Amino acid sequence: MRKKSLIPLLALAACLGAHAGWSVVAPLEANDGKWALYMDDADVQKEGQRVRVSTLYDLPPTARLDVKDREVHSIRDRIELDCARSTYSSVGSSYIDGPMGKGDVVLTLGATAEEEIGTNVALATIAKKACSAR
């Protein structure tokens, strides 16, 4: 029984591990500054029409995002895309106090409900890259 309860934690740790394949997907305007959105090209896992990929939102040093009374400078997110239905959901997210996903985790969130990609240009770009990979 104990092993079963560790599975979600191990899965989240695996998806938030260090990777060397970050590529810029899009600049984003948020919280008084330009964020950069990255996708980990080395961590695209495809199973049929479903794809999982790690993403990273990185804040510039001049922007400020406070979570739990601490500054956050990046957010690592593991998302699952349904390429056939053009939908996505988050598998898990970590809010981190350092840039480029390095530093201490301030907050960890679990999975979210599936949503349509719709007009979200950044997510559409990730979907296009991830769904056509391998």
pLDDT of res. 65: 83
Q: Which CATH code for domain 2-132? A: 2.40.128.710
Ramachandran class of 99: left when φ > 0, alpha when ψ lies in -120 to 50, beta otherwise: beta
pLDDT of res. 118: 93
Domain boundaries, the chain: 2-132
SS3 94: strand
Q: Going residue by residue through the chain, which has 134 residues, state the pLDDT in tens, using 9 for 90 and above.
A: 444 433 333 333 334 444 458 888 877 765 455 788 999 999 999 999 999 999 999 988 777 788 989 999 999 999 999 999 999 999 999 999 999 999 999 999 999 999 999 998 889 999 999 999 76
pTM, two decimals, is 0.77
Q: Are strands 65-67 and 50-58 parallel, antiparallel or unpaired?
A: unpaired
pLDDT of res. 30: 56
pLDDT of res. 15: 42
Report the chain's terminal Cα–Cα distance, integer Å.
36
